[in-house]
Amino acid sequence: MKTADGCERNEIPVGVLETTSEKTRLYAELTEDFNPIHLDEGFAALTPFKVPIVHGTMGLNLIVDTIDRAMAGIPPGTVVDVRFIKPVPVGAIIRASARRVESDQRYQIDIELPDGQRAVDGTCTIGSNEPVPGNPDF
Partner 1 sequence: MNGDGREQWLCFDDFRPGTVLHRLDFVLDDVRRGQWEEIYGSSDRGSRVPAGMLVAAMMQIYIQATRRRPPGNIHAGQLLIFGQPVFWGNTLDGEVSCEEKSLRNGRRWLTFAVSLRKGKQEALQGRIQTIWAL
Work out whether 119 is an interface residue with partner 1 (CB under 8 A). Answer: no
Choice between 111 and 113, CB closer to partner 1:
111
Q: Choose the stretch contacting partner 1; rule: CB under 8 A; options: 5-13, 78-86, 99-107, 111-119.
A: 78-86
Q: HSE on the CB side for 126, CA within 13 Å?
A: 23
Q: Are 55 and 38 in contact (CB under 8 A)?
A: yes
Position 57 contacts partner 1 (CB under 8 A)? yes
Instruction: Kindly state the smallest distance separating residue 103's Cβ from partner 1, in Å.
Output: 18
Burial 53-86 (b: 16+ CB within 10 A, else e): bbbbbbbbbbbbebbeebbeebeeebeeebeeee
Residue 61 within binding range of partner 1, rule CB under 8 A: yes
Residue 84 as a binder of partner 1 (CB under 8 A): the answer is: yes
Binding residues for partner 1 (CB under 8 A): 17, 23, 26-27, 29-33, 55-58, 60-62, 64-65, 67-69, 72-84, 127, 131-134, 136, 138
